Amino acid sequence: MLLSQIIRPDGSLAVVVRAGSEAAILRGTASTYDLALEAATTRRPVAAIIAERGMGAAVDLPSLLAEGRVTLPITHPDPTHMHLTGTGLTHLGSASARDAMHAKLDGAENLTDSMKMFRLGLEGGRPAPGTPGAQPEWFYKGNGTTAIGPGQPLTMPAFAEDGGEEPELAGIYIIAPDGTPCRLGWALANEFSDHITERFNYLWLAHSKLREASFGPEILVGDLPADVQGMSRIRRDGAVIWEKPFLSGEANMSHSMANLEHHHFKYDLFRRPGDVHVHMFGTATLSFADGIATQPGDLFEIEAPPFGLPLKNPLARAPAPGAAIVAVHAL
């Protein structure tokens, strides 16, 4: 089952449920957030609530996506209560690209910090059920104000050195009234980072991640396939300039999903009732690692069959601000 949100002609939201090629509006539901919050509050399966409410008018979701009427598959009434976060060095094979970016000059016998972190995951990222494993790398990207809908531009700041795609899977969560994290499902995501800034010094990773991100267009409700195989590509002026398969799912990861979820939600800050979390789980495929320099106007495309419609976003650059620096006004 796949969930998405569309914009009605009057500007309000409607929730769309899709099974196979058949998609229809869910009756009596103002938003995916409302649906998820009811499921989290009552501990009822989302599928049961959907079956109870029933389906309304059928919709042509690909046509609506082309018209720009498919928006983020979940939003929060207050965007500052949606958290965009992620974890890296989680995928088998992902460390090689990161290690090349962070390579030290003092000989192969000395592991980079990236390789040390990757080794921690290999050795302790899959603990026994009910026990914590090794901590992964973790980063913060922003909140709902930096969540970009399918088809909308991912905009790098004027000061950015690079704007590069990162094809990932994201877990979509809502926090129940009693503080329990509840997973609604899984979605494609473009984690979108500044890899040149990150390459200069890994301590600038936080700066490189403070960028917009996109996810959707649909949320897969249910179990995540163990072996996810997708495709990431970049188009320039309509032509494909780079294309590469990507792998995800636990069969291709050094950490279990349960361990990654634990190390995010172990913080009280991330268990505030009503908050939404979009937590991205890392990647092993980057065009930057293959020497691609993106340009404004390039189109990022990420697709994987279990997750429904592909995620597409053009790249844009923000105009330079009028002032050279941001000056703080003293009160």
When pLDDT is averaged across residues 227-232 and rounded to a whole number, the result is 96
Looking at residue 322, its pLDDT comes to 87
Residue 70 makes CB contacts below 8 A (sequence gap 6+) with: 4, 5, 6, 7, 61, 64, 149, 150, 151, 216, 217, 309
Looking at residue 110, its pLDDT comes to 74
**What is the SS3 assignment for 322?**
coil
Ranges of H-type helices in 252-323: 257-265
Q: Report the greatest alpha carbon distance in the chain.
A: 64
User: Could you read off the pLDDT of 148-192 as tens digits, one per residue?
Assistant: 999 999 999 999 999 999 999 999 999 999 999 999 999 999 999
Residue 251 makes CB contacts below 8 A (sequence gap 6+) with: 226, 227
Q: For residue 62, what are the CA distances in angstroms to 22, 167, 217, 218?
A: 11, 21, 10, 11
Helix (H) or strand (E) holding 82: strand 82-86
When pLDDT is averaged across residues 61-65 and rounded to a whole number, the result is 97
- Which pTM value belongs to this model? 0.93
User: Could you read off the pLDDT of 64-115 as tens digits, one per residue?
Assistant: 999 999 999 999 999 999 999 999 888 886 655 655 555 544 445 577 787 8
Looking at residue 102, its pLDDT comes to 53
Question: Residue 233 in contact with residue 243, Cβ under 8 Å?
Answer: yes
Question: Residue 265 in contact with residue 180, Cβ under 8 Å?
Answer: no
Looking at residue 93, its pLDDT comes to 67
How many CA atoms within 13 Å lie on the side-chain side of 306? Answer: 19
Work out the percent of the chain whose per-residue pLDDT is above 70: 95
CB neighbours of residue 52 within 10 Å:
10
Looking at residue 183, its pLDDT comes to 98
How do beta strands 276-280 and 82-86 pair? Answer: parallel
Looking at residue 196, its pLDDT comes to 96
Looking at residue 105, its pLDDT comes to 41
Looking at residue 103, its pLDDT comes to 54
User: In the numeric block, which tokens belong to residue 111?
Assistant: 């592991």
When pLDDT is averaged across residues 45-65 and rounded to a whole number, the result is 97
Question: Residue 225 in contact with residue 190, Cβ under 8 Å?
Answer: no
For residues 227 and 248, what is the distance between their CA atoms, to the nearest angstrom? Answer: 6
For residues 306 and 231, what is the distance between their CA atoms, to the nearest angstrom? Answer: 12
When pLDDT is averaged across residues 193-198 and rounded to a whole number, the result is 96
User: Could you read off the pLDDT of 263-320 as tens digits, one per residue?
Assistant: 999 999 999 999 999 999 998 899 999 999 999 999 999 999 999 999 999 999 999 9
Q: Which domains does the chain have, with CATH numbers?
A: 2-67 (no CATH), 79-317 (3.90.850.10)
**What is the SS3 assignment for 16?**
strand
In this prediction, residue 249 has a pLDDT band, given cuts at 50, 70 and 90, of very high
For residues 223 and 249, what is the distance between their CA atoms, to the nearest angstrom? Answer: 11
34: pLDDT strictly greater than 70: yes
Exposure letters 11-32 (e unless 16+ CB within 10 A, then b): eebbbbbbeeeebbbbeebebb
* Amino acid identity at 156: M
User: Could you read off the pLDDT of 114-138 as tens digits, one per residue?
Assistant: 788 888 888 889 999 999 999 999 9
Q: How far apart are the first and last CA of the chain?
A: 53
Q: What DSSP assignment string belongs to 54-77? A: -EEEE--HHHHHHTT-EE-S---S
Instruction: Please state, rounded to an integer, the average pLDDT across all residues of the chain.
Output: 93
